[in-house]
Amino acid sequence: MNMKRVFILGTMMITMSFAGSAWSKTTISPIPEPKWSIVDLNNSRENEGDELLAALNQASEEELKEKLYQGHSLRTIAESSGGNYAKAIAIQIKQLQAQLDERLASGSISSEQHALQSMEIAGLITASADKAYI
């Protein structure tokens, strides 16, 4: 797998996702946002990677990375290891939607940008998961 392509694609995705917020008005609030729960919700993110590994039926992140470096797509990894491809896609959609929701809540994107980007999530993730980067 060509690492240049991986880094270029990743950079493009990040740039595209933050491009809308670069032109919007920034607001600075001196008052911190209150936490409405005594449970630390950030700990649930640690399990998201495990969820994806379980859906793809992979033992570790290193094993998954190695297969991706060898030029396998997420679809071929799931199919060859008996994983659940649809569940892996659903997990990634949920994670990206949560990031968009956080950006909307923080005011870094408008509700129109949120709606447009939300409509594109499924297509982007499915296309990315079906593509092998060699």
71: left (phi over 0), alpha (psi -120 to 50) or beta: left
Q: How confident is the model at residue 1 (pLDDT cuts 50, 70, 90)?
A: low
What are 87-117's pLDDT values in tens digits? 999 999 999 999 999 999 999 999 999 999 9
Q: Are 113 and 20 in contact (CB under 8 A)?
A: yes
Q: How confident is the model at residue 50 (pLDDT cuts 50, 70, 90)?
A: confident
State how far the Cα of 72 lies from the Cα of 133, in Å rounded to an integer: 7
What are 64-84's pLDDT values in tens digits? 889 988 999 999 999 999 999
What are the residue boundaries of the structural domains of the chain, listed by start? Answer: 44-134
On the question of pLDDT at 127 being above 80, the answer is yes
Place of tokens 């799931």: 78
Q: Global pTM? A: 0.61
What are 2-41's pLDDT values in tens digits? 666 766 766 766 666 655 555 454 555 455 554 444 434 4
State how far the Cα of 109 lies from the Cα of 23, in Å rounded to an integer: 9
Q: Concatenated DSSP letters for 46-85?
A: HHHHHHHHHHHT-S-HHHHHHHHHTT--HHHHHHHHT--H
Q: How confident is the model at residue 134 (pLDDT cuts 50, 70, 90)?
A: confident
Please give the pLDDT value at position 131: 87
Please give the pLDDT value at position 44: 46
Percent of the chain that is helix, strand, coil (3-state, to 5): 70, 0, 30
Please give the pLDDT value at position 45: 47
What type of residue is 33? E
Helix orientation angle between 46-56 and 85-106, rounded to the nearest 10 degrees: 160
